[in-house]
Amino acid sequence: MVKDMQTIVNFCKSRGFMYQGSEIYGGIANVWDFGPLGCRLKNNIKDAWRKRYIQERENSYEIDAAILMHPRVWEASGHVTSFFDPKMDCKKCKTRFRADNFITDISKGEINGDGLSYEEMEEYIETNNIKCPVCGAHDFTKIRKFSQMFETYRGTTDEDKSIIYLRPENAQGEYVNFLNVQRTTRSKLPFSIGQIGKAFRNEITPGNFNFRTIEFEQMEFQTFCKKGNDSEIYNYFKEYAEQFFKDLGLSVENLRFHNHEKLAHYAKEACDIEYQFPFGWGEINGTHNRTNYDLSRHQEYSGKKMEYFDQATGERFIPYIVESTCGADRLTLMTICEALKKYEDKESERTVLELDPEIAPYKMSVLPLIKKKHSEKAKEIYKELRNYLMCYYDDSNSIGKRYRKSDAYGTPLAITVDDETLEKDVVTVRDRDTMEQEKISVNEINEYAPYALKKRRR
Ligand code: GAP
């Protein structure tokens, strides 16, 4: 595993996984664009989530709610009054810090800044004589609240403009549609609504590549249940999320649970799953027992009943919600951090992205051994293969360089077309991780591909 963040950033840029947002204008802080490879990887991660959380589960439905919601939604959710970060500036060099993360980082994770009050954070910085990591001064402003909500305006004339927010989380789209989905699917509790979509937060960030960005995609999943079943469902989804990450190819030693010390006022239980990034442990997933707070607030603010009618008992009540949430961009970075390996060879260094085949951007590469002699047959094979799996054709440079590229793209199998293919319809299949080669017949690739990929699952 590559332990150095700069190597990962360079790899992502040079291989087309991620680029700095608006780079030709000097970039925009904490905004990243996904390139051809990164886009495929992220889409595959979203598909894996969709399969695990929607397709393989009963009573689980996906929606796609609008990013722009009625401003009252964010009053009901509490975001307008309390979605703030603790902001602190260095008076000398003017660098801005998010104080809780700053303390967690500076104490190397020994102190969890998130669990401290503003006064406790100021006291920690004072008594430990903490210095600005940029200019070395010990001269900070007091810690103040900084709203994370992005505001924009709507209206047909300048006079008639009213504030509207870019959603800071997907969850509220699921909550306001709770009754719509329950009625149209005729679901009984417990049932779940999931959603993949963009969220926006005006974050004060310490960098760390695309770990914390101001625009990102969340994969959120809300299970509506009866009070009394909530804790069992909460524990179930903690394990469910961990299993999802293991199935994506993450090693157990790089994952840990972190129970929240300071619970939000509405939460009964909350736990993060953290991943060990090269820059330290960072949250990738949250499981939250949100009680009936969200639906009660929407009932209060909208004036619409948010109750469930239990036909078996004749009871009416506002359901509890257990949330399982994770970020698609953070997961993309995490899978690259986990999979990127560098091996020393006799002549050169070999960079391999050992991704699980399920999420690999391409499943196969098709390579003619000699361009002039074998490209026609190789293209024919590629054109057939691309009908049912994501693959690419490559005849640039030498075969050795093409293998290197295929490995760095994370492609599990490389198919080489040579004289034997022309004579006997036999190709060579090379395994990315073991570099072992095997001869198979062209018409076997069809069956071989899905089988080989499945066999290689960890
Ligand atoms: N609905 C609950 C909620 O939004 P959260 O812990 O604030 O909870 C959920 O966010 C997940 O979204 C996180 O675990 C993380 O993976 C991702 N996420 C949150 N803020 C992010 C940011 N600024 N950049 C990238 N991903 C972020």
For ligand 1, whether the C-beta of 284 sits within 6 Å is yes
For ligand 1, whether the C-beta of 290 sits within 6 Å is no
User: What's the average model confidence in pLDDT over 325-347?
Assistant: 93
Length of the chain: 458
User: What's the average model confidence in pLDDT over 348-361?
Assistant: 93
**pLDDT category of residue 456 using cuts at 50, 70 and 90:** low
pLDDT tens profile 69-103: 999 999 999 999 989 989 999 999 888 899 998 99
* pLDDT computed for residue 349 by the predictor: 85
CB 196 within 8 A of CB 296: no
pLDDT tens profile 367-376: 999 999 999 9
Residue 342 has pLDDT above 70, yes or no: yes
Separation CA 2–CA 7 (nearest Å): 7
* pLDDT computed for residue 1 by the predictor: 74
Tokens at 162, concatenated: 């009213």
Residue 455 has pLDDT above 90, yes or no: no
* Residue tagged 């914390």 (tokens): 212
For ligand 1, whether the C-beta of 377 sits within 6 Å is no
DSSP 8-state symbol, 187? P
pLDDT tens profile 183-232: 999 999 999 999 999 999 998 876 789 999 999 999 999 999 999 999 99
Residue 451 has pLDDT above 70, yes or no: no
* pLDDT computed for residue 307 by the predictor: 97
Residue 61 has pLDDT above 60, yes or no: yes
pLDDT tens profile 238-247: 999 999 999 9
Of all protein residues, the one whose alpha carbon is nearest to atom 6 of ligand 1 is 286
User: What's the average model confidence in pLDDT over 268-297?
Assistant: 96
Q: Which ranges of 256-389 does DSSP label H, i.e. alpha helix? A: 293-302, 328-339, 371-385
Tokens at 342, concatenated: 């560098």
Residue 2 has pLDDT above 60, yes or no: yes
Of all protein residues, the one whose alpha carbon is nearest to atom 24 of ligand 1 is 212
For ligand 1, whether the C-beta of 169 sits within 6 Å is yes
For 380-404, give the DSSP string: HHHHHHTTTS-EEE--SS-HHHHHH
How many angstroms separate the alpha carbon of residue 330 from the centre of ligand 1? 9
3-state SS of 88-154? EEECCCCCEEEHHHHHHHHCCCCCCHHHCCHHHHHHHHHHCCCCCCCCCCCCECCCEEEECCEEEEE
Of all protein residues, the one whose alpha carbon is nearest to atom 7 of ligand 1 is 169
* pLDDT computed for residue 17 by the predictor: 98
Residue 108 has pLDDT above 90, yes or no: no
* pLDDT computed for residue 293 by the predictor: 97
Q: Which of 196, 238, 330 to mutate to test the pocket of ligand 1 (most atoms within 8 A of CB)?
A: 330
Average pLDDT taken over every residue of the chain: 93
How many angstroms separate the alpha carbon of residue 157 from the centre of ligand 1? 35
Separation CA 315–CA 393 (nearest Å): 61
Tokens at 336, concatenated: 């690259």
Residue 458 has pLDDT above 50, yes or no: no
For 226-264, give the DSSP string: -TTTHHHHHHHHHHHHHHHHHHTT--GGGEEEEE-SS--
pLDDT tens profile 109-163: 788 888 889 999 999 999 999 999 999 999 999 999 989 999 999 987 777 789 9
Separation CA 130–CA 81 (nearest Å): 30
